[in-house]
Structure 1
Amino acid sequence: MIRFENGTPKAAHLSAHADGSAYTYDCLEKFQGGKRPVIFSALGSHAMYTKPGTHDYSPVKFVGPTDHTDRGPLWDPTLNFAAFQHYPSPARDKFRAIDEDKDGKLVPCLKFRGQWGDQFSSPPINPQKSGGWMANMNMFQPMKRTMSLHNLRWGDGVTGPRDKDLDRAGMNRYSHRIHTSI
């Protein structure tokens, strides 16, 4: 999500899992003469980041899931994108395609109330399983844990834009912080 003031981009929210982070537009890496931001999409994920590397997003440090980004192929979204305007409403589902002829048929997708992604994993992820993501837990026994690692599960996919509070006053859903550097 990009916020504009008088037609000039001022801040960008990069979504990632439960929320994401906001950045001043000026601090983002740019290309094409400094006009377009460079954003890194996580491998196999919907998360977006400001730089390549490994990004930990787990509440369980050292053993939880991470996202990975790199400077792989550059994708130019202006070659294949659909733009929509969101209008605040109690149902949070009022959208309009900017190019109605090209993208109008996609508006119903934005109103989808289900979850976009893989089904909830069952049974729980087993960190002890051979080849699992953490076969030896002994080194973590002294650490205080807030949740049992044996009960971790991959959750269902993300919900659609109608559940993202697009009419929020700030850039983030749960915090007001806007980073001024990456």
Structure 2
Amino acid sequence: MIRFSNGAPQAIWYSQHASGQAFTYSAVEKKGIRPYAYSGNGTHANYVIAGKHDHTIPGVNLPNGFLVDYADRGLEWDPVFNAYSYTYNTTTRSFEAASPGAPLGLVNFNGKWGDDQPPGEPSIFGEAKYVAGPNGPKFKSLDRKHVCPSTPCIVLPFKIWAGKE
């Protein structure tokens, strides 16, 4: 999620399992003006840098731990070439297609996205390596005041990457 003010990007929320992290727009790696997001291999989490990311403690992104995601540069994917656009009505909590032919079923889906958690999957502090996917965009507090979906909202103002991987 990118927060804009007067048409200029200010902050970015990278969602990660049960929480995430927020950064100022100036602090993140970009190609031109477009920020990078590194997807956890096989997960729905996205990170501001490549590498190992422990998600044992929600909202705390450590390089090592019990529940680790791996994210790398991988193949660059530009979502602009196959993206649909929607507007969200905060009163009715519904989406409308903003681009011709944009399907609405996916954004209005009320269940979890992805596979269910396997039976007997161990967990640590209530977190497991394989869990059912997140629910859809209408459950993501799209009418929130801050870039973070909950408070306190800490927006990190410093660069946490240094050039090449």
Give the TM-score, by structure 1 length: 0.74
Q: Distance in 2 between matches of 1:158 and 1:26?
A: 28
Q: Distance in 1 between matches of 2:35 and 2:104?
A: 26
Q: Distance in 2 between matches of 1:39 and 1:152?
A: 23
Structural mapping, 1:56-135, within 5 Å: 56-59=54-57, 64-89=66-91, 92=93, 94-99=94-99, 101-103=100-102, 106-125=103-122
Number of paired residues? 154
Distance 1:153-1:44 versus aligned 2 partners, 3 A rule: closer
Please say if residues 112 and 134 of structure 2, whose CA atoms lie closer than 8 Å, have aligned partners that are also in contact: yes
Give the TM-score, by structure 2 length: 0.81
Partner of 2:8: 8
Return the match for 2:49 from 48, 51, 61. 51
SS of 1:158's equivalent in the other structure is coil
Q: Distance in 1 between matches of 2:34 and 2:129?
A: 37
Q: Distance in 1 between matches of 2:87 and 2:16?
A: 21
Deviation at 1:56, TM superposition (A): 0.3
Q: Distance in 1 between matches of 2:37 and 2:125?
A: 32
Deviation at 1:156, TM superposition (A): 1.9
Please say if residues 41 and 71 of structure 2, whose CA atoms lie closer than 8 Å, have aligned partners that are also in contact: yes
Please say if residues 125 and 154 of structure 1, whose CA atoms lie closer than 8 Å, have aligned partners that are also in contact: no
Q: CA RMSD in A?
A: 2.5
> Structure 2 stretches of 5 or more lacking a match?
161-165
SS of 1:78's equivalent in the other structure is helix
Moved over 4 A (4+): 60-63
Partner of 1:161: 137
Deviation at 1:120, TM superposition (A): 2.3
Aligned-pair identity in percent equals 34
Q: Distance in 1 between matches of 2:35 and 2:131?
A: 30
Q: Distance in 1 between matches of 2:6 and 2:145?
A: 17
> Structure 1 stretches of 5 or more lacking a match?
127-145
